[in-house]
């Protein structure tokens, strides 16, 4: 009766992996998570829609031979991700499809941008991201979500989308994306961990020691035309969610990332605690901090629990 915060299925966004192969394949690093075939993805999207989950966020597993330094596959209209978006929108039009804008699935080094002389180059990357965003919108993506953290990308992508007639495609900006070690299992799932090797993304992702800087990032994204802001990871950065919620009027979303999910699942497998309860507690903590929606690999499981 007196709960200030409630978790509902409407708060959930389900990140899902899609691969080129036939059949769904379990991701070892993420118990309960699969790489879906296109067919499996469509089935999963239908189930998610029937459960009331408003949107899925798609991530492609791209074979090594399609990766190159220009990330040209990122703007191929016949790519896996474009085929996947079109298949979902054709069969389950009611579910929102969020498509990631970043080059890491498409580059052999696993960085989110174009690399020259060993460094990610911001401005050369922007042009490629713009092409990628337009390609995703043309394929039918309802929302594009730049996760690359280049400076100026929201404005550049907004202009590119508007020029191509996609004025109504919103941008979900990964506003405060920290250079976190918690992305490890995700990188296993999409196969970018070995490409990245010992390199890190600290030249473009944020320093975990900083919170005021997140406000600066939010101000930039808002002024550039973002429609929604995201904080990532989620539970380790509750103060950032809360801060952005206080100082910005745009919706703030949180991403409960792969490492946060995996810790709960693996500890539960060891019998340390009840996994469902801890997962719920993690999600409600982000909601309490101010997140209006939460990306979580547990979305389908949690939606089933909420319904039961
Ligand atoms: C890359 C991207 C990453 C995640 C989402 N998009 C990894 C990274 O920045 O290396 C991580 C998500 C997760 O860990 O669940 N653009």
CATH of domain 9-307: 3.20.20.70
Distance 111 CA to ligand 1 centre (A): 11
Distance of CA 136 to the CA centre of its chain: 14
Overall average pLDDT of the 227-231 stretch: 98
Going by their DSSP bridges, the two strands 119-120 and 115-116 should be labelled as antiparallel
pLDDT tens for each residue of 24-79: 999 999 999 999 999 999 999 999 999 999 999 999 999 999 999 999 999 999 99
Q: What is the pLDDT of residues 268-285, one digit of tens each?
A: 999 999 999 999 999 999
Q: Which atom of ligand 1 is nearest to the CA of 112?
A: 16
Tell me the C-alpha to C-alpha distance, in Å, between residue 251 and each of 180, 215, 254, 294: 23, 14, 10, 11
pLDDT at 308 over 90: no
Distance from Cα 308 to the centre of ligand 1, integer Å: 31
Give the model's pLDDT for residue 193: 77
- pLDDT at 192 exceeding the cut of 90: no
pTM of this structure: 0.97
User: Using a 6 Å CB cutoff, which residues line ligand 1?
Assistant: 100, 102, 104, 112, 147, 183, 186-187, 201, 257-258
Q: Give catalytic residue positions.
A: 177, 232
Q: Whose CA is nearest to atom 6 of ligand 1?
A: 147
**pLDDT of residue 101 exceeding 90:** yes
Q: What are residue 86's phi and psi, to 5 degrees?
A: -60, -40
Q: What is the pLDDT of residue 123?
A: 96
pLDDT of residue 56: 98
User: Which is the closest atom of ligand 1 to the Cα of 196?
Assistant: 10
Question: Reduced to 3 DSSP states, what percent helix, strand and coil does the chain have, rounded to the nearest 5?
Answer: 45, 20, 35
- The answer to whether residue 258 scores a pLDDT higher than 90 is yes
Q: Specify the pairing of strand 34-36 against strand 25-26.
A: antiparallel
252: three-class secondary structure by DSSP: strand
- Quote the Cα angle for 131-175-170, to 5°: 50
Residue 68 and residue 124: Cα distance in Å, rounded? 15
Compute the C-alpha angle 257/189/214, nearest 5°: 30
User: For residue 274, how far is its CA from the centre of ligand 1 (angstroms)?
Assistant: 27
Q: Where are the beta strands (DSSP E) in the chain?
A: 12-18, 25-26, 34-36, 55-60, 96-101, 115-116, 119-120, 143-146, 172-177, 228-232, 252-256, 293-296
- Ligand 1, atom 10: closest residue by C-alpha: 183
Question: Are 105 and 158 a contacting pair, CB within 8 Å?
Answer: no
Going by alpha carbons, the residue nearest to atom 2 of ligand 1 is 147
Burial 237-260 (b: 16+ CB within 10 A, else e): bbebbbbbbeebebbbbbbbbbbb
**Among the listed residues 66, 94, 53, 62, the one whose alpha carbon sits nearest the alpha carbon of residue 81:** 62
Please calculate the CA angle 189-116-219 and round it to the nearest 5 degrees. Answer: 70
* 119-174: pLDDT as tens digits: 999 999 999 999 999 999 999 999 999 999 999 999 999 999 999 999 999 999 99
Read off the tokens for 88.
């979902």
Q: Whose CA is nearest to atom 7 of ligand 1?
A: 183
Query: Separation of 183 CA from ligand 1 center, angstroms?
Result: 6
Distance from residue 140's CA to the centre of ligand 1 (Å): 22
Q: Does residue 195 carry a pLDDT above 90?
A: no
Instruction: Identify the band that residue 296 occupies on the pLDDT scale cut at 50, 70 and 90.
Output: very high
Name the residue of 257, 260, 294, 299 to mutate for ligand 1: max ligand atoms within 8 A of Cβ.
Answer: 257
């Amino acid at each position: 009766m007196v709960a200030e915060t409630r978790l509902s299925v409407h708060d959930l966004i389900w990140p899902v992996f899609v691969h080129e192969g036939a059949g769904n394949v379990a991701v070892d690093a993420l118990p309960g998570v699969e790489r879906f075939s296109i067919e499996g993805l469509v089935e999963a999207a239908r189930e998610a829609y029937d459960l009331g989950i408003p949107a899925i966020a798609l991530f492609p597993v791209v074979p090594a031979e399609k990766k190159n330094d220009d990330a040209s596959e990122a703007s191929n209209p016949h790519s896996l991700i474009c085929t996947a978006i079109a298949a979902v929108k054709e069969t389950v039009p009611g579910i929102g499809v969020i498509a990631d804008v970043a080059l890491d699935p498409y580059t052999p080094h696993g960085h989110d941008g174009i690399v020259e002389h060993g460094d990610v180059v911001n401005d050369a990357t922007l042009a490629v991201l713009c092409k990628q965003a337009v390609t995703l919108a043309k394929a039918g993506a309802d929302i594009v979500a730049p996760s690359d953290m280049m400076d100026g990308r929201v404005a550049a992508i907004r202009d590119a989308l508007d020029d191509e007639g996609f004025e109504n495609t919103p941008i979900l900006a990964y506003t405060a994306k920290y250079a976190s070690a918690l992305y490890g299992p995700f990188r296993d799932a999409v196969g970018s961990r070995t490409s990245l090797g010992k390199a890190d993304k600290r030249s473009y992702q944020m320093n975990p020691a900083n919170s005021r800087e997140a406000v600066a990032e939010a101000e930039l994204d808002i002024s550039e035309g973002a429609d929604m802001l995201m904080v990532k990871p989620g539970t380790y950065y509750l103060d950032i969610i809360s801060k952005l919620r206080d100082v910005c009027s745009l919706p703030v979303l949180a991403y409960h990332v792969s490492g946060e999910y995996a810790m709960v699942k693996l500890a539960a497998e060891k019998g340390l605690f009840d996994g469902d309860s801890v997962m719920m507690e993690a999600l409600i903590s982000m909601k309490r901090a101010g997140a209006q929606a939460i990306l979580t690999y547990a979305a389908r499981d949690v939606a089933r629990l909420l319904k039961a």
